[in-house]
Amino acid sequence: MIENRHLKKNLHEPTVRGFGAEWASFDQSGLNEDEKRKIFNDYFSFFPWHLLSSETSVGLDAGCGSGRWASLVAPNVHKLYVLDASKEALEVAKKNLGQYSNVEYICQPIEEGIFPENSLDFAYSLGVLHHLPDTFAAIMAIAKTLKKGAPLLLYLYYNFENKPWYYRLMWKCSEKVRFLLSRSPFFLRKVFCEIIALFIYWPLARIAWLLEKINKLPNSWPLAYYRQSSFYTMRTDTLDRLGTHLEQRFSKAEIQFMLKRAGCDRITFSDKVPFWCVLSFKK
């Protein structure tokens, strides 16, 4: 595992510590393979796998966390670098990815200088860059490592621009909860998020499941994405959403602007949840 070699410029220490504790608590051993594959496909549904080779392609998982997505990418490529600023998270990833000899671990913030420019065949970062102080700087740093024509897949939290006003109101209320919880000791964070998962996430998700069965599910039903998810996933994502100290949200236009400035084009947004998943290519 490559250790930190640069100054920690673009990271938020409480957020990094929080994610380290989260992945140590939810190491994804309770996530069954079918559900993991389904979530993975939600993110990677439009990723250009045909451009990659198991014999030559080298890529980057920027902010690997527990390594759950890397476990499905590594078998398809020659080499995969998994990078995370949290040593605790990387220890979990090493356990989950131990069977893959083509994975290299880097304990490092997402910043320029980790890899030579124009050296990687692909990169992805899912649910990470919106937790950094400077999201654009991280996108720029990743894009510089890519070869011309290489794909970059991102998942960034959206600002509910495609939702009705009451949906945004519910989010603003949840922000007040997040502000308090994320600044609490981790054991309190975890306990309260477990309660929220049980009494808010699970009921709303199961009602959405029932409404879908009778073709009555509204487009803006809260937490409908979890209607087929396990309670383990709900617990993980509740802590991820409400226990994280730093969070930013972006519109489609803002994401597109950042990617273009970072030297990417052919920008395509997924039209299904989770929002926003976006694929682009290095010019």
Higher pLDDT, 166 or 191: 191
d(CA 204, CA 84): 33
pLDDT above 80 for 176? yes
- For residue 199, tell me if it sits in a domain: yes
Q: Which residues contact 23 (CB under 8 A, 6 or more apart)?
A: 65, 66, 86, 88, 89, 92, 93
Residue 43 shares a structural domain with residue 139:
yes
CB atoms within 10 A of CB 194: 15
pLDDT tens track for 99-115: 999 999 999 999 988 89
7 — pLDDT class (breaks 50, 70, 90): very low
d(CA 143, CA 147): 9
- For residue 5, tell me if it sits in a domain: no
Share of the chain above pLDDT 90, in %: 91
Residue 125 shares a structural domain with residue 104:
yes
Residue 217 shares a structural domain with residue 88:
no
- For residue 263, tell me if it sits in a domain: yes
Helical pair 231-242 and 186-196, crossing angle rounded to 10 deg: 130
Residue 266 shares a structural domain with residue 140:
yes
Residue 77 shares a structural domain with residue 196:
no
Residue 188 shares a structural domain with residue 143:
no
DSSP codes joined into one string, 180-224: HHTTS-HHHHHHHHHHHIIIIIHHHHHHHHHHHHTT---TT-TTG
Residue 217 shares a structural domain with residue 105:
no
pLDDT above 80 for 1? no
Q: Print the domain residue range for 172.
A: 165-242
Number of domains in the chain: 2
Residues 45-57, mean pLDDT to the nearest whole number = 96
Residue 213 shares a structural domain with residue 114:
no
- For residue 26, tell me if it sits in a domain: yes
Residue 107 shares a structural domain with residue 184:
no
Residue 257 shares a structural domain with residue 180:
no
**φ, ψ (nearest 5 deg) of residue 207:** -65, -40
10 — pLDDT class (breaks 50, 70, 90): very high
> What average pLDDT does the structure give for the chain?
94
- For residue 102, tell me if it sits in a domain: yes
> Are the beta carbons of 59 and 49 closer than 8 angstroms?
no
> Are the beta carbons of 28 and 49 closer than 8 angstroms?
no
Residue 173 shares a structural domain with residue 43:
no
Residue 194 shares a structural domain with residue 69:
no
Domain containing 61 — which CATH number?
Answer: 3.40.50.150
